[in-house]
Structure formats: structure tokens, C-alpha cells
Chain A
Amino acid sequence: MDQFWNTLQADWPLIIDKTLEHLYLSAVSVLIACLVAIPAGVLLTRFKRLANGVITVVSVIQTIPSLALFGFMIPLVGIGAKPAIIALTLYALLPIVQNTFVGISEVNPALTEAGVGMGMTRWQVLRMVQLPIARSVIMAGVRLVTVQTISMATIATYIAAGGLGDIITRGITMINTITIFEGAVPVSLLVILVNLLLLALNRALTPKGLRGQRKING
């Protein structure tokens, strides 16, 4: 037990450092993924014939083993944070594209037609009707992706991107369980905290009229 506390005390600044690095890698990836995938999902609802094709292509990315995808980045963009962020972003695309597409497609057509019939432009229908109603479905995709990205960012250590994976691999090399814990526990805590945060955010953003009342929209 003493040994545990001593190691923890000594490694404390490092753990904080690596946690921040980890958070940075994950947050930037998820953010970029959202910026790409949400508009893409919206666009696919306008061109439904493309949807199946695009979603298939994006799901193929998910079949590449994560370790290998990080490896493929090296000849393309080298090592460090940049290739890691690109790989993590690619992985994050599918759930967000899919949920955006499904969420918006599921909005009752009678409601969008009511909007158009009252004189909304397509953009206004999207902003005032479709996105607010689809938001919790889209947010569910973002939440899934966030959890996935935080766990996967652990592997980014293999291409020298830093993060809590650094501590875990060091622990593995030294066959030191305490060190492995020092890397693994913060990852789990990050996942839980961020997940709760996003849940709360979604709840706060969801208008009262939609809470537990999906019936009315469809």
C-alpha cells in the first residue's frame, strides 16, 4: 500500500499532464467529427439515394482495426498528435452521420410540410423544426462517439501522440500494475464524467415539449 501511495505521489504531475493531453486529443477529434458528420448527415437526408453508399463507405472505416489505422497514418502524416486526431476523427464519423441521418429522417413529414406550407424556407425548416426534434438522437450519437474516442485515444501512444496511453504502456513494459492503473483509471473516469456531462447537457437543451414524449412527433 505504501508503495502505491509513493508511486502515485511521484507520478501525480505526470498523470495530470497526460490526462490533459488525452482530453485534448479526444475533444479535438470529436469536435472535428461533429463539424463534418452533422452537416453530412443533414445533406444525406436531401440526397437520400446517396445515403446508403456514403454510410457504407464510412462504416468500412470502422472495420479497420484501430491499431492498424494509427499505423497507416505514419506514412501519410508522420507521427504525433496530428495523425492521431485524424484517425480518431475518421472513427468518430459513422455514428454521428448515421444518427443525424436517422434522426432527421424520422421527423414526421407532416411537421416539415406544415413548416413549408406556412412559409419556411428549407433552411428555416431545418433550423426551427428538424434539428430541434432530431437533436437528442444526434446527441446520442455524439455521446457514443465521445466514449469510444476517449478509450481509443489510449492507443495513440503508439504513434507518439501522448495521452494516458503513455502511462499504460510504460506500466506494461515495466510489468508494473500500479503504473498501469495510474493510466487506466483516469481514462475510465474521463469517460464517465464526460458522458454524464453530455447527458446533462442534452437534458438541459431538450425542450420540455419533447421530454419523454416522442409519440407526438411520429
Chain B
Amino acid sequence: MGVKLEILRMLLYLSFPVGSSGSPPGRVLPASRGAAQEGDFSSGRPRAAFSCALRRPRGAFATVSAVKQRRGAAGAGTMDARFTRGKSPLLERALGRPRTEVSLSAFALLFSELVQYCQNRVYSVAELQAKLAQLGHQVGLRILDALVAREKSGRREIKVLNVLLFVKGPVWRALFGKEADKLEQANDDDKTYYVIEKEPLVNTYISVPKENSTLNCAAFTAGLVEAVLTASGFPAKVTAHWHKGTTLMIKFEEAVIARDKSLEGR
């Protein structure tokens, strides 16, 4: 945070030559820090222009460019050109925990449409699951950033067990409102782990037809977990299976386990 603050301050100084008529950045920033902390995260309204800067670097650049525009600076630099769209109020929002909730029915209906759409474009159950996993992947990549910033104050995990606990705990809580039911390691294989969920939320209202009994729409969740693990630096393959409810089988790459062993004892 401190470093970001410095960068931001430097940027602000760049855009406010000493003695300019703009508001002095040194005064604006400390005040905005309080605003960012006390801010109501659930509100979608554009917040005080500077509060975002502390949490989202992109917002910071956007703010700077917005200030420049306001001052009518003639030379809109290249950075401005890249970030002008940052004037969207969404970027001014803090990354705090969202307090908004939607109904499970709304999600179930949306997910159902998503599955049907995918189903119309594939020929087999395996392809359908791959497609769902691909969509889950998108979600996983995006949620990871928010969660690492929110839950771990920007720190990353370096141990396999910890990253798995991160998935079982914070990731699951943020997405599904509860921890995953179980986390197990395969008896005979040190790179295989299982996350077991008796009744996954995504499957709540899905009944699988007999002829496609192997289909498990939690493939979506599997893709999501795969993205979270891979993007955290633990490349793995994750697949969904019908076993004790739904089991997500996580197979880490050899290198991940080897690295973990070499870290042992440190």
C-alpha cells in the first residue's frame, strides 16, 4: 500500500507542477485515506474521486487523467489516451467485500441458460464439461484477484496445503457462502487431492437425464478451481466426478509437488 501511495503521489506531482492552481495533492491524499476506509462499499455511486486510488491502481491513473482533463491540460499524454475510459464510476469502487446479494433462483436460471447454450454447441458430455470448465476458468481468474486483495491483503500462498485450504475456505465462502465440505488427499498419490462437496450450489436445481448420467455441471466449479490454483502458481488439472456427492479431483503437476518438498523445513 505504501509503495502504491508513493507512486500515486509521484503521479499527482507530475500532473500538478509546483505552484499550479490545482488542489495540493499532499492535502488531498491523507483525507481520502479515511474516506476509503469508512466508505460504504455496498453503494454503487461514484465515490470521492481519490478514495479509489488507494485500492485500485487503475483507478488511480484514471483519476489523474480526469484531473488533467478538468484542468484542461493541453498535452494529453499517451497514458491519458490509454486510461480515459477509466472515468467509469465502477472503477472508482473499492474492492471491499460486497454486501449485495442476489437470489439463488436468479443464479440457477442464469446457470441453466448457460448450460443449455453450451449444450447446443457440443456433441458429447465430455465436450460439454470442457466448455463449462472453460467458462468456470474465466470466473476463477477474476475472483482470485479480488479475493487475494481482500482476504489475504495481497499476500500469496507458497505451500500446496495452504493454497488448498485457501480454496476450501475463503474461496468457497466468497462464492458459495460456506466452506467446502471436505478436503482429502489421495492415499496412494501425493499430487492428487479431493475437494468434496455433498450438494454443490451450482447443481442445486439440476437433474441430470439418465442417458447423460456422467454429466456433472460442477465441471464449471472444477474449471474455476483450476484457474484459481493455476493462476496462484500451482498448475493443476481439476475434474468433477460423482462421488460422495460431487468430488473435484485436483491433480497438481509434478513440479509443484517437487517444489513443495524442497520448501519443507524452511
* Real binding pair: no
